[in-house]
Structure 1
Amino acid sequence: MISDARALPDATVIQADFCLVGAGAAGISLALALSRSGCKVLLLESGGEKEEPATQALYEGHVVNPALHSPADSYRQRRFGGTTTIWGGRCVPYDPLDFEARSYVPHSGWPIGYDEIARYYPQANRLCEAGVFDYHSETAFDRPLKPMIPGFDQRHFTTDTMERFSCPTDFHVRYHDKLSGPTIQVLLHANLTRIVLSEDGNRVTGLEARTLAGNGFSVRASCFVLCTGGLETVRLLLANRDVHAQGIGNQHDVVGRYYMCHIAGTMGGVRFSIPPASIWNGYDMADEGVYCRRRLALRPEVQEREQVGSFVARLHHPRITDPRHGNGILSALYCAKPFIAYEYAKRLFEEDPASLKNWAKHLQNVALGVPDIMGFAWHMLRDRKLAARKFPSVVIKSRAGLYSVDFHAEQMPDPTSRVGLAQEKDPLGMPRISIDWRYMQQDVHTVQRSLALLKQDIAQSGVGSFEYDPQSVEKEMVRYGAYGGHHIGTVRMGASPRTSVTNSDCRVHGVANLYLAGSGVFPTSSQANPTLTIVALSLRLADHLHSRDFSGT
């Protein structure tokens, strides 16, 4: 059943077995899994079925260094479906090494091993509509694939691992009918304002919520799960201080610390000496109709030997903002940038001089490239705008065999990189968040060393050359700041409340019936986008909750 909290009489009390807060990838996956047992599941969602400016504005907050982090209300959506309503669909599992305690990665080591997650990945893949759970090109396809780079000696990097792409699936639209069933109640426009604890602070006795329309209600349940994302979860825990003076789960000042995103950028130029037509930088279509893309991935044994984090690279088109690329398609994209969403425009266009001279050159490229532009426009209309499964991104084939290198790297956990509370309050009376994202020199080292190894592999293979300025690596890797909507590590899981917020089952230390779901509980970031692992970990949590007896709480 899907209903609207604005229609509830003031002071209504709602009863449920499980109360989940936040209807994004984590909350919806968890609700669907819990409902199969016949338990009554209540799913609270702050927003409605479409984006609403007043609700979205509740995400606004303070950013300590705006040059390093996007506004607090960007890259995440406060509505039914959460950020799956705007995500790009990239699905990638974490690697076994990501779960291990690594001497060269501070504060690393998950309290669970890869096998604990791996058994949930196939089901997560199905929920995300990313096809079969196989992320190796050698086994995922029944047919031989064209080599990514013929003759490339994969000494430090492998081209076998790949990404799969969801439709991208909007969880609200895709699972709307299942969420309308008798065992799930989705309550829209319901904003959690207070987590009510017992006098000893060891359990949650209920929640209090309000709508922007002004009416309030409360929830009574046996178990509560916050599925509100790596930033909002911090705000909710820290803002509730009536029993725990520093906030729930924050006895040792850990909530909001270790904030990670990913390190990303575009570097230099690869000029291939082999025939340009032999290079493959595009997507392969799997038998089940899923787009897949291979990339250059730093081998795990190399990471350990070189003492760097995980790192992947893709062959990328030249910088769009520089009209010297002479490509009409790229210049047409540049001219269309006012119509491209912030989340994508920031990455596509980078720093832009925007001079009249540059504009003139872009317009000249467009005029000379009309046939290519028309073909590209038809491809994007047919395969992205109108298709149910959308072509994932802009891929430009270089006739000259010239590409830049697009990279995505792991960020190290750093306790000084953190999310806290600002002085300002929102219309519900809740303090807004303050974001102080930071990076470490070890993050710079990961990118610098990985690029050097890639340059070496390309040269020694005799397939071309990779030229870039090593002195510009740090500047380039923070050009986008904290990359995208990957809010990781702020309520990390671990064995001790002194260094973590939840235990290995995602339960808040010291609170018997309060759990957290989402990438905030990840102790490390990997290089992989977090959505697939968020869903897998939510499915694991559902199994744990089914096995628990909450009658004593």
Structure 2
Amino acid sequence: MIIDSKELDDGATLRADICIVGGGAVGIAMALALAGKGRDVLLVEAGGTVREDAIQKAYRGTVVDPALHSPLIDYRERRLGGTTTIWGGRCMPLDPIDFTRRAWIPASGWPIDADTLAPYYPAANRLCEAGAFDYRADSALRAGARAMIGGFAGTAYTTDRLERFSCPTDFGTRYRERLAAARDVRVVLKAAVQAIGLDPAGQRVATLTLRDPAGRTFTVTAGDVVLGAGGLETTRLLLASRDVHPHGIGNHHDVLGRYYMSHLAGTIGTVHFADPDRVWHGYDVAEDGTYCRRRLALGEDAQRDHRIGNFVARLHHPRIADPGHRTGVLSALFLGRMLVPRLYRQRLAGSGGNGLRDTVEHAINVARQPSAVARFAWQALVDRRLAERKFPSIVVVPRSGRYSLDFHAEQEPQHASRVYLGTERDAWGMPRLVADWRYSAGDVTTVKTALALLAEDLARGGCGRFDYDPDEVEREMTRYGAYPGHHIGLVRMGDDPRHSMVDPDCRIHGIANLYIAGAAVFPTSSQANPTLTAVALALRLADRLLAKPCREAGAVT
């Protein structure tokens, strides 16, 4: 059942066995996993089924350093489906090393290991519609698939790891009918949590107070409560609920909102190949029809030997703004840059190409290759706009034979990187957030060392050369600041309440019935985009809740 909050009476009480807050990927995944299992499930979502600016404005906040973090309203969606309504669909699991305690990564180590989460990844892959849970090129791709770099024989890196791509699947659209048809799942839209009320002892959630856009309020009582509203919003709800715990729910040791991580990403240097014809940086299609792409993945032994974080890289077309690439498609993209999404437009800013001479050279590139530009425009329309499973991104083979390197690196957790409550309030009366995201010297070392190792691997095999300026690494890895949409570590998982917020089952320390779902519980960030692992953790949490005795059932009263 899916209902709009306007259908409820003002002051209504909703009772359930399990209440899930947030209708994004993790909330919907949990609701589907719990459906038909003998539990009365209530899923509350602050938005509706489409984006509404008045509701979206609740996500506004303050960023301490705008050069390092996008506005808090960006890359988050307050509606059914959450950020999956705008995501790119990139999926890959964490690596076994990511779960381990690494002496060179401060505050690292998960209280669970890779084997604990492994049983939940295949189902997460299916929900994300990313195909089979197979991330090895030799087994996932069709026979005869081209190697990424012919003759590459690196000692630090491998080219056999894949990233898979969802359609990308909008969870709100894809699973709306299943949610509506589930007899034991109720979804209430446009009902934002305004307060989490604990019992007088501060050991259980007694009530949730909801508010709709018209200012009417409702009460939820549930046996178990799961916050799955995204890393930033989940943190805000916990920090703002101070009636019993004065510093925020469970925040006895100043951990809540700390250890804020994203990923370190950038594009750098030029890769020259001895034989460009033996290079393949495009997408492959797996047997199940899923788009896949190979990556240069830094091995676990290299991470240990050099005491750095996880790191992956992809071959990328040259900087679009430089007409020296002599590629008509890239020049057309630059000349039409105001038509591309803001994130990609931002990557063109400040990278040259704005003078009259460069503009003329871009125009000449386009004029010399009109058929290639037309083919690209047709593919963009058919495969990226109209197809149900969309072509993931721009792939252009540069005429110059030179590539740049696109990288994605793990960020160290650090106590000083944080979000906290500001003095401003939104239309629902909730304090707005302030984000103070920071990176560390160890993050710079990870990227610098990983790039140097890649240069050595390319040279060692004689297949190519990677030229870059080591003095430019820090500037390049912070050019766009925190990778947008990845809000990791704010409600971190661990065994020790002095240094973590939730236990291995994602339950808030000291609160018997309050759980957190999402990337906010990750103790470390890995190199991987977080959605797939967040969904896998949500499915594991659903199993944990089903193993508990049923405490309470009911309906709207």
What per-residue deviation string (whole Å, max 9, x for no partner) do you get for residues 339-371 of structure 1?
222234334556456334433333332233321
Cα separation, 2, equivalents of 1:183 and 1:384: 37
Aligned position for 2:22 = 22
Whether the aligned pair in 2 keeps the contact of 1:320 and 1:349 (CA below 8 Å) is: no
Q: Which amino acid aligns with 1:300?
A: E
Cα separation, 1, equivalents of 2:268 and 2:529: 20
1:213 CA drift (Å) = 1.4
Whether the aligned pair in 2 keeps the contact of 1:165 and 1:291 (CA below 8 Å) is: yes
Moved more, 410-419 or 363-372: 363-372
Alignment of 1:47-66 (within 5 A): 47-66=47-66
Cα separation, 2, equivalents of 1:337 and 1:56: 26
Cα separation, 2, equivalents of 1:552 and 1:420: 34
Aligned position for 1:400 = 400
Cα separation, 2, equivalents of 1:351 and 1:486: 25
| Structure 1 segments (4+ residues) deviating >6 Å | none
Aligned position for 1:467 = 467
What per-residue deviation string (whole Å, max 9, x for no partner) do you get for residues 56-107 of structure 1?
1110000000000000011111111000001101000001100000011100
Whether the aligned pair in 2 keeps the contact of 1:240 and 1:248 (CA below 8 Å) is: yes
Whether the aligned pair in 1 keeps the contact of 2:519 and 2:534 (CA below 8 Å) is: yes
Aligned position for 1:77 = 77
For the residue of structure 2 that corresponds to 1:119, the secondary structure is helix
Cα separation, 2, equivalents of 1:147 and 1:263: 27
Aligned position for 1:326 = 326
1:36 CA drift (Å) = 2.7
Q: 1:431 to 1:351 in 2, by over 3 A?
A: farther
Cα separation, 1, equivalents of 2:444 and 2:369: 38
Unaligned runs of 5+ in 1: none
For the residue of structure 1 that corresponds to 2:324, the secondary structure is helix
Alignment of 1:196-345 (within 5 A): 196-274=197-275, 276-345=276-345
What per-residue deviation string (whole Å, max 9, x for no partner) do you get for residues 269-303 of structure 1?
011111x2221000110011000000100011110
Q: Which amino acid aligns with 1:204?
A: V
For the residue of structure 2 that corresponds to 1:107, the secondary structure is coil
Moved more, 341-350 or 112-121: 341-350
What per-residue deviation string (whole Å, max 9, x for no partner) do you get for residues 169-190 of structure 1?
1101111111102211111111
Aligned position for 2:122 = 122
User: Is 1:182 paired with 2:183?
Assistant: yes
For the residue of structure 2 that corresponds to 1:270, the secondary structure is strand
RMSD: 1.4
Cα separation, 1, equivalents of 2:378 and 2:227: 43
Whether the aligned pair in 1 keeps the contact of 2:311 and 2:527 (CA below 8 Å) is: yes
1:142 CA drift (Å) = 4.6
Aligned position for 1:410 = 410
Q: Which amino acid aligns with 2:421?
A: L
**Count of residues paired in the alignment:** 552
Moved more, 379-388 or 91-100: 379-388
Cα separation, 2, equivalents of 1:135 and 1:415: 33
Whether the aligned pair in 1 keeps the contact of 2:353 and 2:359 (CA below 8 Å) is: no
Aligned position for 2:13 = 13
Q: Which amino acid aligns with 2:361?
A: K
Cα separation, 2, equivalents of 1:299 and 1:80: 38
What per-residue deviation string (whole Å, max 9, x for no partner) do you get for residues 131-172 of structure 1?
111100112235132111111122110001110111001101
Unaligned runs of 5+ in 2: none
Alignment of 1:388-537 (within 5 A): 388-537=388-537
1:399 CA drift (Å) = 3.1
Identity among equivalent pairs (%): 55
Cα separation, 1, equivalents of 2:373 and 2:514: 54
Q: Which amino acid aligns with 2:264?
A: I
Q: 1:399 to 1:470 in 2, by over 3 A?
A: same
Cα separation, 2, equivalents of 1:487 and 1:336: 31
Aligned position for 1:34 = 34
For the residue of structure 2 that corresponds to 1:454, the secondary structure is helix
TM value normalised by structure 1: 0.98
